[in-house]
């Protein structure tokens, strides 16, 4: 029986009943054509509404922002209406849900973006990165990403406007707030990290310049919907999708300080969680805690015991459990009662229907 995970916590205007987060996880089941959230997705999220906070799967802010087949968008009225089914289901179960907004930048293929060339901070291909495309079957076809082109200043301003509009659309769709995806090698991360940003203008070079795009997107979102409805996800040590920073502790402590100045409601840190991944030191975590005064969420292969320790030692306020939530719609109850966790089926993570999505049993079943 854990206790710290079940202490109430405030998140903006919301009082959350526990500190367990369902983090964003791509499941690629949006209706086609149109990348529209649907009834099956509403059932999936509604089943998991006992999480203190749900953060939706990554949701592209534009056609160009799409990295993978069958992921949902939030840039047109049909998509907003689809997401309303999801938020209604979560709210009917007394849950709280934020929309994760993303633009993948170079982590895509022309087949996913109507034949266009991807965009990024710089014209650098992400090496050894594959994405999946719709190859006309229920099984995704994996292909190498292609070389992007560097964004112009005008295009940067256009994407900032797209993020702002997507935040407004998310609120219109009934979401309680949004999470800006600035992690895992996607577009904003491509500007932040030193090794993926080779620009020589005001968006590249110095650390201040590399953080400028993040800064301007957050300012636009906060202006649109309020700081109490904006969270940001960062991944300081991950090398996913080919982004690497030469000095992640300096870079991401500076990013946390910057975000703190805007008064955003939470900072969500994705720890590198593969085998032999670099560990975030307690000193690094303390530096982030010192830099950011809002709610601090961590994710990365946490057990209930590790989660409890992280909250009790003050380095985290909430803990996100990713794949355990795939297979355990009642995960908070299992944690509270010390019940075993179902294992997820890796073959049904991406694409398909109800199998491996909404058919995992609760413990009593």
Looking up tokens 């993303």 gives 102
pLDDT tens across 101-119, in order?
A: 999 999 999 999 999 999 9
Catalytic residue among 45, 68, 75, 186: 186
Beta bridge partners of 130: 144
Q: At which residue do the structure tokens 């590249």 appear?
A: 204
Residue 295 placed within a domain: yes
Instruction: Report yes or no on 176 lying in a domain.
Output: yes
Contact 328, 116 (CB under 8 A): no
Residue 145 forms part of a structural domain = yes
Nearest Cα residue to 262 out of 223, 227, 211, 289: 227
Q: Which residue has the higher pLDDT, 140 or 39?
A: 39
Distance between CA atoms of residues 37 and 85, nearest Å: 8
What DSSP state is assigned to residue 57?
A: P
Residue pair 134/68 in contact by the 8 Å Cβ criterion:
no
Q: How confident is the model at residue 138 (pLDDT cuts 50, 70, 90)?
A: confident
Give the percent of the chain with pLDDT over 90: 93
Rounded CA-CA distance 313/335 in Å is 19
Q: What DSSP character marks residue 73?
A: B
Residues 114, 133: Cα–Cα separation, whole Å: 12
Give the confidence band of 365 by pLDDT, cuts at 50, 70, 90.
Answer: low
Phi, psi (rounded to 5 degrees) for 324: -55, -30
Closest to 322 measured CA to CA, from 340, 302, 346: 302
Domain holding 202, by residue range, is 4-348
Residue 160 predicted with pLDDT over 90 = yes
Residue found by looking up tokens 């590198």 in the block: 272
In a domain, 249, yes or no: yes
Total count of domains within the chain: 1
Query: Is the pLDDT reported for residue 39 higher than 90?
Result: yes
d(CA 213, CA 360): 40
Whether 196 and 243 have beta carbons less than 8 Å apart is answered as yes
Burial class of residue 293, CB neighbours in 10 A (0-12, 13-18, 19+): exposed
**Residue pLDDT, tens place only, 304-329:** 999 999 999 999 999 999 999 999 99
- DSSP secondary structure letter of residue 151: P
Q: For 161-194, how does the pLDDT look when each residue is reduced to its tens digit (9 = 90+)? A: 999 999 999 999 999 999 999 999 999 999 999 9
Which residue would you say has higher pLDDT here, 68 or 363? 68
Average pLDDT score over residue span 36-40: 98
Residue 344, in any domain of the structure = yes
Query: Is the confidence at residue 17, as pLDDT, over 80?
Result: yes
pLDDT value of position 266: 99
What is residue 242's predicted lDDT score, i.e. its pLDDT? 87
pLDDT at residue 240, rounded to an integer: 85
Q: Residue 168: how many CB atoms within 10 A of its CB? A: 15
Return d(Cα 348, Cα 351) in angstroms, integer. Answer: 7
Give pLDDT, residue 277.
67
128 lies in some domain: yes
**What is the average pLDDT score of the chain?**
96
Does residue 182 belong to any structural domain of this protein?
yes
Reduce the DSSP state of residue 247 to 3 states and report it.
Answer: coil
186 is catalytic: yes
Rounded Cα distance, 156 and 159, in Å: 5
Sign for the pseudo-dihedral over CA of 178, 183, 185, 188:
positive
Q: What angle do CA 18, 101, 176 make, to 5 degrees?
A: 40
Q: What's the CA angle centered on 124, arms 121 and 128, to 5 degrees?
A: 125
Q: Which residues sit opposite 230 in a β-bridge?
A: 178
Three-class secondary structure of residue 231 per DSSP: strand
Lowest mean pLDDT among 80-94, 132-146, 215-229: 132-146
* Residue 131 domain-assigned (yes or no): yes
Query: Strand, coil or helix: what is 15?
Result: strand
pLDDT for the residue numbered 279: 84
CATH of the domain at 17: 3.20.20.70
Q: Name the nearest CA neighbour of 145 among 243, 244, 238.
A: 243
Question: How far is Cα 152 from Cα 54, in angstroms, rounded to an integer?
Answer: 35
CB atoms near residue 237 (< 10 Å): 21
pLDDT at 295: 98
- Give the Cα separation of 304 and 128 in Å (integer): 34
């Amino acid at each position: 029986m854990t206790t710290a995970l079940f202490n109430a916590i405030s998140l903006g205007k919301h009082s959350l009943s526990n500190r367990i987060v369902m983090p964003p996880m791509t499941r690629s089941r949006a209706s086609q054509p149109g990348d529209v959230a649907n009834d099956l997705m509403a059932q999936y999220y509604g089943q998991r509404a006992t999480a203190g906070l749900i953060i939706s799967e990554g949701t592209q802010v534009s056609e160009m922002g799409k990295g993978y087949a069958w992921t949902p968008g939030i840039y047109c009225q049909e998509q907003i209406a689809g997401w309303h089914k999801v938020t209604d289901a979560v709210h009917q179960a007394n849950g709280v849900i934020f929309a994760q907004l993303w633009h993948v930048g170079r982590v895509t293929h022309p087949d996913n973006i109507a034949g266009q060339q991807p965009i990024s901070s710089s014209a650098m291909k992400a090496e050894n990165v594959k994405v999946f495309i719709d190859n006309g079957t229920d099984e995704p076809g994996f292909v190498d990403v292609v070389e992007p082109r560097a964004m112009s200043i005008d295009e940067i301003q256009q994407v900032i406007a797209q993020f702002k509009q997507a935040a407004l659309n998310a609120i219109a769709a009934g979401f309680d707030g949004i999470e800006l995806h600035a992690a895992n090698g996607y577009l904003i991360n491509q500007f932040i990290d030193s090794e993926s940003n080779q620009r020589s203008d005001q968006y590249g070079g110095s650390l201040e310049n590399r953080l400028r795009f993040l800064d301007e997107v957050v300012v636009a979102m906060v202006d649109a919907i309020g700081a109490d409805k904006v969270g940001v996800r960062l991944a300081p040590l991950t090398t996913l999708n080919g982004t690497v920073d030469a000095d992640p502790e300096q870079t991401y402590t500076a990013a946390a300080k910057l975000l703190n100045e805007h008064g955003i409601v939470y900072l969500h840190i994705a720890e590198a969680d593969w085998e032999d991944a670099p560990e975030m030191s307690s000193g690094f975590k303390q530096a982030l805690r010192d830099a950011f005064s809002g709610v601090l969420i961590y994710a990365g292969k946490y057990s209930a015991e590790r989660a409890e320790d992280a909250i009790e030692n003050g380095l985290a306020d909430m803990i996100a459990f990713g794949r355990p939530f795939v297979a355990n719609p009642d995960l908070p109850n299992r944690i509270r009662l010390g019940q075993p966790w179902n294992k997820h089926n890796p073959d049904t993570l991406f694409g398909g229907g109800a199998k491996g999505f909404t058919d995992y049993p609760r413990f009593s079943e």
